[in-house]
A and B are shown apart, each in its own frame.
Chain A
């Protein structure tokens, strides 16, 4: 059974169509990502699904129940992580969790488990305002999980985090999904969507352009592989002569060969002993986005 069933959602603000006919469904246990640049309509879509906004048209159903108007019986089954600032003022990390646990009517013993899960046990007595950005982010996820929801919404959870904190967060998100929860994530980071999500919907200008697994997206793209080496090990002219090379670019720093037959080109380069500083980059979701929208991805 589909946990989320969205059909033809529409929402306009003035003359701007923030959400312009969005339909998709998410299966139980899936890690589903909505990817798109800022202003694509991801957050509005999520807010309508969560039951925070009334759609102008269409409907979002969670567990078969329409999410608008606000349904009290749906609320204990879903967990929503908002921005990292959505806390009670001047409470400690432990007190924030206790407060939410009490509001959802779950025993206080969950607080310790949650702190453990997000790695904040030693920060339990620290006021939220004094936590780092990554710690606040993890605490806000813990607050959204305290009542053990079946479905979790995360809105740009890694925004503003340093690379180390992002990786910690990704581990946490994977473990949440591995516990059997359905997770819906919006992000404007391509790498995040590619690494975490079972399925990604690419969104721009209020529409979903396509929804696929990241590998299916990339495989279907038939995009060239980029092989780059240090400049000087082979000249641009020589490189063009290598069989299978479609295009050569030299930016002074690296010489890059685009090819659809990487095995053949790599062999040829090896024969010429021209593999110094070798780097091979396959197509990414960035190429998929470029292909779908005809423009560079700008987050």
Chain B
């Protein structure tokens, strides 16, 4: 127990003192979170830019509820120079310009971007129709209500955070185990420890302690940044995340130990680890939701422990599921850890030759 703690402290110091390593394990996946979070959050609320020439009574007189809808769809700017407004539409600086002449509304659009033109025309047409119905003082005969099929809370950031966190944890656990094993074998530190009264279990346990500690740091940073910057909301039994991370860490460490056991050099080990982790990340729903992928990918993803970690974390962090939702993924990952770990011990070597 004391040996485990001593080794864990030594490994932890070695980890935090290597600034590049900390960057790759913590900052690099975080960059994806910031990048994707930024991209997708922006695109979901893109508005059409509209120039209002002089006063357009239709817009200005919209009732409050309709006006709010209108502002969701359009960014309106006022101008009194009609010629300049039309020139801006032609140049593509704004999407459309509108003027009102009595009961007649004129919408200027550019045919250069047909999609935008159609969107603006459609949207604007619907507001005009709405205003027409309102002018008759009759309740509308039909009402349209739209509804997203996914859980409303499942914003982009909601599935991105668990996915990228899973990937970050997988990288840390796999590379940490693989490189520690190869480097310690190369420098003969492994041999040095074998000559000290230290058991193999102590060495492996120390690596697990450090890797899980790093995973918890990753969890804290991801959740903090996701919540503060991108409106991540934890719902459900999110406190089941640490146990999920523990099981995931064990599975990925087993992969790393296998990579380290069969590789002679650090370069080979890191290549092998990359070969597993990168495709695994793509196929396990780290960068895009799995339900948007072809069926064969969904079947293939069942072969990777990261899929279970991602699913488990989605369930308990953002899908509002109870703690029992984490149990099945945990069991599967422990199974992975046991099987791959057993294979790794078959290839394990103390010495470089």
Contacts and interface: CB of A to CB of B under 8 A. Distances in A.
Interface residues of A, number: 27
A82 B351 CA distance: 13
Contacts of A253: none
Given A52-B195, A100-B196, A105-B2, A85 B10 contact: no
Contact of B14 (A72, A75, A90): A90
A95 interface: yes
Contacts of B194: 52, 70
Given A90-B18, A103-B3, A83 B188 contact: yes
Interface string A62-105: 00000000101001101010110111111100010001101111
Contacts of A102: 2-3, 6
Contact of A91 (B3, B10, B188): B10
A90 B17 contact: yes
A156 interface: no
A44 B300 CA distance: 48
Nearest to B183: A89
A250 B193 CA distance: 55
A225 interface: no
A287 interface: no
Given A90-B13, A90-B14, A103-B3, A52 B187 contact: no
A102 B3 CA distance: 7
Nearest to A102: B6
A91 B17 CA distance: 9
B87 interface: no
Given A75-B196, A80-B195, A127-B17, A86 B183 contact: no
Contacts of B196: 75, 100, 103-104
B197 A103 contact: yes
Interface in A24-78: 50-52, 70, 72, 75-76, 78
17 contacts: A50-B195, A52-B351, A78-B195, A82-B192, A83-B187, A85-B188, A87-B189, A88-B13, A89-B14, A90-B13, A90-B14, A99-B7, A100-B196, A103-B193, A103-B196, A103-B197, A104-B197
Given A75-B197, A80-B192, 11 more contacts: A50-B195, A52-B195, A75-B196, A86-B192, A90-B14, A95-B13, A100-B196, A102-B2, A102-B3, A103-B6, A103-B197
Interface of A: 50-52, 70, 72, 75-76, 78, 80, 82-83, 85-91, 95, 99-100, 102-105, 127, 143
> Which are the 8 A-B pairs with shortest beta-carbon distances?
A102-B6, A90-B17, A89-B14, A86-B188, A88-B10, A85-B187, A86-B192, A90-B14
